[in-house]
Structure formats: structure tokens, C-alpha cells
Amino acid sequence: AFGVRPPVVERARIRIVAQPPDPTGTDQTVCNATNPSNFLAGNIPAGNIVNWYRNVPGSPDAPGTLITSGVDMTTLNFNPANVPGYTNNTTPGVYSVWVSYTPNVANSLNCESRKIKMSRTIRNAIPVPVPTTAPPAEICNNNSFNIVLPNPATETFGGATEYVFNTATGVTVGSSNANSATYNVAVAFAPGELYVDRTITVGRRYTTGVGCQRTRNFPIRIYNETVGGTLSNFPDVCEGTSVGPITLSGHLGTITGWQVEVNGGGFVAYTGPASGNSITPGLLSDGLYRFRAILDNGPCNTVFSSIETVNVTDNPTPPTAGSDQAFCGSLVSAAQNATLPGGASGTWSYVSSVPSGR
């Protein structure tokens, strides 16, 4: 029989190396036309090899092919070369990469950390659309106007949006809803000021996160309310006496014309001499004249000035002193045969005598 030998035993050691702690990173959301920051990985010890991977979109997303790796390469530039699909900062979308690291220890089993995802989101541009009901270009003070816009859209990269209706000096929002507003206009004008210019701004922004507000401006000219003013007093005259000037004062607005009424016949256009804020009708036939100015100021109501009345009286028929009379001797008194029209009264005046003074 053969001799008994001891059994042959082989041993293998399995070393389980702990996976390194996860790296860290932050997501970022920016407004359209804003450059996202570069990707930055944290919680990676110095001297380790950092690995950056492309993203494979899905449900869920997954890491894809390696972009680059290197010792202490904790930053990955955000550019088209590193981020497929990204063109420029006006291209909305969600752009993601993955990052991990591996300890850089010689002659050792070096495990890779878990891959974590970092994203950069460029939101859609959100311009304010053209209103379906736009504000007026001109309006009279102490009035209201509406602005109506399409309903605020929900964007693919950013979500729900809303409008912001802003005010201006003397122009306030009376009421508003999701897509419209009513503005009240009550400007405090300086004395004699005909109009002021205001700009109404409507903004649109995201309801969550970064607002990314964009605006549209609407210039509006606001006119002061027209004031008719007062005509100067001109006395009644006899026919043959020039009438005028009759001058307007205390008004606000532009004199666009004058009117005259003769003997109650209704006002018609005055076509006589006029200059600035005055008229000079000149010589008028007998009658009762009423004058007024017409004033306008932008879209505000047309108004009239006060009325100035001038009564032009016709001149009386000249009286006659009677026929000449001759007397002999000493004249003490003698009746004259003068005539006066229509029961008028008159006075006698000494004219001359021969010899003079007698």
C-alpha cells in the first residue's frame, strides 16, 4: 500500500474594496441668451482621476460614452464639443453629463465611484406677444383704456408663464386678470401743459424658479383736458365804429376756429381777420353779434370759449335846422323850424354870425 500523504489545500483571498464616496455637483437653470456655467464636480480628493461621460436620454437617463478624463479634472467646459445638442445660449433645452472618479493609487485595485448626473437648463425665450387689444397711442386725461394679450403660454423648458402689468406716473392699473388689464389715467399737469408722454411696460416671466422676465413697451401721449377760456369784453358801438380786437385768455388747447352769430340766426364760421388768440371783426353793419372760439387738444373733447356779445347800433337820421330866416331891426328871439326823426331829442349849437361874434 502506498503511504498516506497530507491533503493539498489551496486558498484564495477575495478583497472587497469599498467604492469611493459619490462626487457632488449642482444643476443650473438660466434664462435664454445667458451662458450656463461650466460643470464642476466636488467631493473628489486631490490626485484622483475624474471621468466625464455623455448623457443618454431615457426614462431614466443613463451615462454614455466617455467624454474625457484626467487627474484632478473637476471642471468640464460647457461647450458644443463636450455637450452634444448644445449650439449656443439661445438654444433652449436640458443639457446633462455624468461624472465619476477613480483613486489614482499604484499597484492597487482602484474602484470607480458612482456616476452622478449634472444638468444645465436653458429656458425658452418668453417675449411678450403682440396684444389683441393694444393701448391707444393718444388718450385724454381722466380716462381709462384696456390692454388684452393672448393667454400666457406654458413653455417646454421653463413651464408656466405670467404677465406683469406695470404702471407709470399718473397711469395706474385699475384691475387685471391673467391676460388683460384696465389702466386709469389721471396725470397731474403743470399749468398750461398740453400733454405728457408716458410708457406702459408689460412683462412676461416664469412663475417658478428664475423669472427671466421680458418686456414690451407701449408709448402713450396723454393730453390735458381742453379748457375754453374767456373772451375779453368789447363795448357796444355805433355803426361805423370798428369792432375789435376781441382776445381769448385762460384757455388750454389750440384755437381751431372762430364762430359768429348775427341777430340770433345761429353760429356760423367766422371768416374775418384773426391773429393768434384774437379777432378783429372791424366795421360791421347794425345788429346783435355774438362771437366765440373753438378749441381742441388732441383726442380730448372740442370745447367753446365764453361768448362775447357786441351790439352795433345804426346811426340816427341827421336832423334839419330849418330854412334860413332874415330879420330887420333888433332880434330878441325867434322860433326855429328844425325837424328831428322819430321823436328824437337834440341840442342847438352856435356855429357863426356876421359880423363875427354877434
- Phi/psi of residue 116, each to 5°? -115, 150
The distance from CA 332 to its chain's CA centroid, rounded to whole angstroms, is 94
Give the pLDDT confidence of 225-251 residue by residue, as tens digits. 999 999 999 999 999 999 999 999 999
Q: What pLDDT is attached to residue 17? A: 76
Q: What pLDDT is attached to residue 68? A: 97
Is the pLDDT score of 26 beyond 60?
Answer: yes
Q: Rounded distance, CA 89 to CA 65, Å?
A: 24
Q: What pLDDT is attached to residue 326? A: 66
29, 85 contact by CB (below 8 A): no
Mean pLDDT computed over every residue of the chain: 92
Give the pLDDT confidence of 52-69 residue by residue, as tens digits. 999 999 999 999 999 999
203, 194 contact by CB (below 8 A): no
221, 186 contact by CB (below 8 A): no
Model confidence at 340, in pLDDT bands (50, 70, 90)? low
230, 238 contact by CB (below 8 A): no
Model confidence at 14, in pLDDT bands (50, 70, 90)? confident
Give the pLDDT confidence of 303-337 residue by residue, as tens digits. 999 999 999 999 877 777 667 766 665 555 555 66
Give the pLDDT confidence of 212-223 residue by residue, as tens digits. 999 999 999 999
Q: What pLDDT is attached to residue 274? A: 97
Q: What pLDDT is attached to residue 107? A: 66
Give 42's DSSP letter: B
Q: What pLDDT is attached to residue 352? A: 67
Q: Rounded distance, CA 150 to CA 132, Å?
A: 7
Is the pLDDT score of 190 beyond 60?
Answer: yes
Q: What pLDDT is attached to residue 205? A: 97
Question: What is 122-136 written as a DSSP string?
Answer: EPPP-PPPPPSBPPP
Question: What is 54-81 written as a DSSP string?
Answer: EEE-SSS-EEEEEEEEEET--EE--STT
Give the pLDDT confidence of 121-149 residue by residue, as tens digits. 999 999 999 999 999 999 999 999 999 99
The C-alpha cell 453629463 sits at 97
Is the pLDDT score of 358 beyond 60?
Answer: no
Give the pLDDT confidence of 76-102 residue by residue, as tens digits. 999 999 998 999 999 999 999 999 999
201, 230 contact by CB (below 8 A): no
Q: What pLDDT is attached to residue 12? A: 79
Mean local confidence (pLDDT), 31-51:
97
Q: Rounded distance, CA 247 to CA 209, Å?
A: 65
Give the pLDDT confidence of 270-281 residue by residue, as tens digits. 999 999 999 999
Q: Per the structure block, which three cell numbers stand in for 27? A: 444643476
Q: What pLDDT is attached to residue 2? A: 59
Q: Per the structure block, which three cell numbers stand in for 189? A: 399737469
- How buried is 124 (Cβ within 10 angstroms: 0-12 exposed, 13-18 middle, 19+ buried)? buried
The C-alpha cell 355803426 sits at 239
Mean local confidence (pLDDT), 186-204:
98
Give the pLDDT confidence of 255-265 residue by residue, as tens digits. 999 999 999 99
Give the pLDDT confidence of 342-352 residue by residue, as tens digits. 666 667 676 66
